[in-house]
Amino acid sequence: MYSSITVNDIKTDDLSFPTLESDVKDHIDYVLEAYAPFSDVQLERMTHNEQPWLDARDGYEPFQRCEEEIDEITMRNYYAARVS
């Protein structure tokens, strides 16, 4: 269903983001360092076991299609608690 992205897909010579503040770049680097080692399947499993995803799917069967939006406040609270 999905194609995997590998390190070979990244074109570092084309990466230039002059409008990003250094703290934003640092945050992006932090996220990439933390999650880059995981495969697409591993990342999907991780997110699908987190409370925001589970809340949005409440009442749905495991393989039933769901188009509920994940609540922004739920995400903010969940991830803020993980960072603290």
What distance in Å separates the CA atoms of residue 51 and residue 26, rounded to the nearest whole number? 27
Residue pLDDT, tens place only, 30-79: 888 888 889 888 999 999 999 999 999 999 998 999 999 999 999 999 99
In this prediction, residue 31 carries a pLDDT of 87
All structural domains of the chain with their residue ranges = 39-84
Query: Global pTM?
Result: 0.66
Task: Give 32: exposed, middle or buried? Use CB within 10 Å, 0-12, 13-18, 19+.
Answer: exposed
pLDDT at 18: 76
